[in-house]
Structure 1
Amino acid sequence: MSRERRLTAGAVAVLLVALLGVAVGPGVLADPTADGPVRPGHVSIAESPAIAPGEVDGATATLTLHTRIGHRGNPTDNVSVRYRAYDAESGLLTTERTLELDELTGDRSVPVNATIEVPREGGYVIETVVFRDGQVVDRDRTEVSGLEALGTEVRFTESEAVPPLSVSVASVDEEANRTTLAVAASLTNGGAESSDELRVEVIVRQAESNLVAARDSTTVSDIGPGRTADATTEVTVPSEYNYYVDAAVYRDGVLVDTARSVANLDPTETISANETTREVEFEVGDFEGGDGADDRMTEAPRATETSTGAPGFGPALAVVALLGAALLARRRTRQ
């Protein structure tokens, strides 16, 4: 076979193979600019979630999450963002939410906003995970705490002049050996709006045994912005014991703040580090309704005896002088 025939036969064979390939796989010779599989663009977390408090009720708090997802390269779809809240202490999953995003195009970042609801206590680790086609492409973790304080700016007053708790003796029943304590809790609203109704609970525990000797509660509301108000209650306890006085502020059943003071009714032992323990005769009734004056005992001046006799001879010397004069006169008479 001549060379020309061999070349012609080879060209025909190549053409037949190409035609067969087109018949079996129509896209083999397709225009590369036509629509087809395209490598997706790059997706990542451009900004970590900014967490802001939302609606707050008695037991739960809503957290608003503001995130930005960055994209560059080819258009990308099938992108989702998953938020999870884990308990900061136990690490247990509390809640989660997943958002599906529209197709991402261009070199830019897009905002992604979501809300999650968590119990209003303790702290949480907020995990943000970005998926593309079901695969993790980026993640972020942010911690949030202090949720029990959301919804109110009222706290026990922190001032050297005004203590958070003031404990005084209201009355004493000596026959029953009972003392009634008046407990005044000072609360300050540091927010921009008046407070809702708050419940103040007072618990008195005997110092040595930690047994609850008495407890009571009262309510206070409408504390104006920047204002301070007192919530006062009375509790009756056995006399001649020392007590820890604990107070707690609740909003919708959620603990907001706590404070502690002491009541030393036992004169021989105290539970304050800066007090001296000594034996004294002490009656708590002595302090009932006092005006705060410092009554001090004063010692009466001692009487001083002074001599009123005139200078000269005393009575004994006068007698001796008289006897001497009498003897002298008798001698002269004999002569």
Structure 2
Amino acid sequence: MDTRTALLAAAAALLLAGAVGAVAAPDAIVDPREADERPGDVRIVDTVVSPGEVRGETAELRLGVDLRHRGSAVENVTVRHRAIGADSGLLVDETTVDVGTVDGGGERTINGSVDVEREGGYRIETVVFADGERRASQTTRVGGVAALTPDYADSRVGFTESNVWPTVAVSVSEADNQTATLSVSLSVTNRGDAVSEPLDLRVLLRQSESNVIADEASETVGEVRPGRTDTVTTTVEVPANYNYYVDAALWSDDVLIDETQGVANLNPRERITANETVEEVEFAVEDFTRGSDDAADVADAPDRGTDGESAGDSTPGFGPLAALVALVAAILVARRRP
């Protein structure tokens, strides 16, 4: 057999083997164009919830959904979020994010959000659709929404919290029988990472029993560096001999940021503390008398002169009663004699 005949025989054998394989496994040979037309797969890998804009009554919950894609491109993909009350089971909010076509494999993050009320807990149900067909779903539970601070009241500056150093310190600058001038110092701490903006400090002195405002003052808290504590001092004038609650508050554009309370005890007979009133027993000298019981007897005895006799007008001797008894006895003895 020559070389040409051998090559023709080998080629014929290869064609025969290919034909047999195609018959035995018809799916082994697939047109690449047909493979691209197969629908891809989209799955939810993870969902991350973070607080967004926090308002007075409601809060925005930002949702980041990680989608994993495999296979060919998936068109008309949408992600739907539903916020459902954990206790009531009622739908609170629903949003849909239009993703479009997902292609290229790997993972991508789809951002969305829902608005909920700042109370209770919620169940966030996330569903992925492709051409209106449900492809994947996941449920995330969220609680403690009420603990979120509204954006308008979010400030890292507040009154100092310390076990020793006083947040509110009151001292008397001047005083007379009618009025007292008090110097009130308040400690403010910046717990943030940046220099604080100026704030308004307002102080009210409230009489402890009547709650009548005796005086008030306002000061500006300047810039406070991160981690630093600043002391702001103001002066008020109030009637003397009364006790007062010192109410202090920090304001930013008429928004209450923080508040604290101290006391000013100007009445020596009574004492008050923050959120508590304590009445002391009036000072009495006899409670502190030292010595034996004879000292009390001496104190109760009548005054005597230098010679030990009473300084009163009593008759010396036995007194009128003893003289009368002696007279009656003498008369009886005289009548018995013969």
TM tier, smaller: 0.5 to 0.7
Shift in alpha-carbon separation, 1:194–1:35, aligned structure 2, 3 A: closer
> Where does 1:18-33 land on structure 2 (aligned, <5 Å)?
none
Superposition deviation, residue 198 in structure 1: 0.9
Superposition deviation, residue 115 in structure 1: 6.8
Look up the match of 1:99.
97
> Where does 1:186-201 land on structure 2 (aligned, <5 Å)?
186-201=187-202
TM-score, normalised with respect to structure 2 = 0.54
Superposition deviation, residue 195 in structure 1: 0.9
> Where does 1:167-178 land on structure 2 (aligned, <5 Å)?
167-174=170-177, 177-178=178-179
**For 1:63 and 1:156, how far apart are their aligned partners in 2?**
29
Kept in 2: contact 1:71–1:104 (CA 8 A): no
> Larger relative CO (CA 8 A, sep 6+): 1 or 2?
1
For 1:223, give the aligned amino acid. V
Superposition deviation, residue 109 in structure 1: 4.5
Look up the match of 2:155.
152
Kept in 1: contact 2:224–2:230 (CA 8 A): yes
**For 1:267 and 1:245, how far apart are their aligned partners in 2?**
18
Superposition deviation, residue 107 in structure 1: 7.5
Look up the match of 2:50.
50
Kept in 2: contact 1:79–1:103 (CA 8 A): no
Look up the match of 1:309.
none
**Which of 126, 150, 153 matches 1:130?**
126
Look up the match of 2:79.
80
Kept in 2: contact 1:267–1:278 (CA 8 A): no
Look up the match of 1:236.
237
Indicate the SS of the match to 1:191: coil
**For 1:170 and 1:128, how far apart are their aligned partners in 2?**
60
Superposition deviation, residue 218 in structure 1: 1.1
**For 2:186 and 2:214, how far apart are their aligned partners in 1?**
19
Shift in alpha-carbon separation, 1:84–1:237, aligned structure 2, 3 A: farther
Look up the match of 1:162.
165
**For 2:264 and 2:280, how far apart are their aligned partners in 1?**
14
Shift in alpha-carbon separation, 1:148–1:245, aligned structure 2, 3 A: farther
Superposition deviation, residue 260 in structure 1: 1.4
Alpha-carbon deviations, 1:210-266, whole Å to 9, x = none?
Answer: 333332221112111222211222222222222211211122333222221111122
Kept in 2: contact 1:71–1:105 (CA 8 A): no
Kept in 2: contact 1:59–1:254 (CA 8 A): no
Alpha-carbon deviations, 1:100-147, whole Å to 9, x = none?
Answer: 22344687543133578999xx77857644243498944424344241
For 1:166, give the aligned amino acid. A
**For 1:82 and 1:243, how far apart are their aligned partners in 2?**
54
For 1:167, give the aligned amino acid. V
Kept in 2: contact 1:41–1:73 (CA 8 A): yes
Kept in 1: contact 2:205–2:247 (CA 8 A): yes
Look up the match of 1:203.
204
Look up the match of 2:111.
113
Shift in alpha-carbon separation, 1:187–1:92, aligned structure 2, 3 A: farther
Look up the match of 1:277.
280
> Where does 1:194-273 land on structure 2 (aligned, <5 Å)?
194-272=195-273
Alpha-carbon deviations, 1:30-75, whole Å to 9, x = none?
Answer: xxx799997x956547123134x67x9x989996835124456784
Kept in 1: contact 2:207–2:245 (CA 8 A): yes
Indicate the SS of the match to 2:172: strand
> Where does 1:305-324 land on structure 2 (aligned, <5 Å)?
none
Alpha-carbon deviations, 1:165-189, whole Å to 9, x = none?
Answer: 1111222242xx2222221111122
Indicate the SS of the match to 2:251: strand
Indicate the SS of the match to 2:271: coil
**For 1:212 and 1:78, how far apart are their aligned partners in 2?**
64
Shift in alpha-carbon separation, 1:77–1:233, aligned structure 2, 3 A: same
Give the aligned length.
237
Give me the identity figure in percent.
29
Shift in alpha-carbon separation, 1:216–1:246, aligned structure 2, 3 A: same
Shift in alpha-carbon separation, 1:99–1:203, aligned structure 2, 3 A: farther
Structure 2: 5+ residue stretches without partners: 1-33, 285-338
**For 2:123 and 2:99, how far apart are their aligned partners in 1?**
18
**For 2:84 and 2:269, how far apart are their aligned partners in 1?**
53
TM-score, normalised with respect to structure 1 = 0.54
